[in-house]
Amino acid sequence: MKKIYKCLKNIYAKYKNKTPFPPKISIIITARCNLKCKFCNFHAEHLPGDEKIYNEISVNDWKKIIDKISFFHPEIIIFGGEPFIYKNINELLLYIVEKKLKCHVFT
């Protein structure tokens, strides 16, 4: 989590006087998927079935990230493997709406 904050802080410091904030933020919510589409990189048959391999960020950590970026009102684009496999997707989507941010989910 600290690495994400540090990355956001570095991006902000680098571009704060040069460009406006990004209008859209893409979030890969999970790498898990219930399909095995040949054209998709997320089906990952080569990965073991161990859930730990996916290292999903908790919903509370996503909320902290949303709090940090919400001041510039970006559109949030959620995708991944299959976003609706993420355990707390409903809670996260409701939180994004509460923050009055536009949100798109690609499934």
Helix 59-69 and helix 2-15, axial crossing angle in degrees, nearest 10: 10
Note the pLDDT of residue 56: 85
Give 35-69 pLDDT, tens digit per residue.
Answer: 877 777 665 554 555 555 567 899 999 999 999 88
Diameter of the chain by CA atoms?
A: 45
Note the pLDDT of residue 50: 52
Give the mean model confidence (pLDDT) for residues 63-92. 91
How many angstroms separate the CA atoms of 28 and 82, rounded? 9
Note the pLDDT of residue 6: 77
> Band of the pLDDT at 101, cuts 50, 70, 90?
very high
Note the pLDDT of residue 21: 74
How many angstroms separate the CA atoms of 68 and 36, rounded? 35
Give 5-31 pLDDT, tens digit per residue.
Answer: 777 777 777 766 665 677 899 998 988
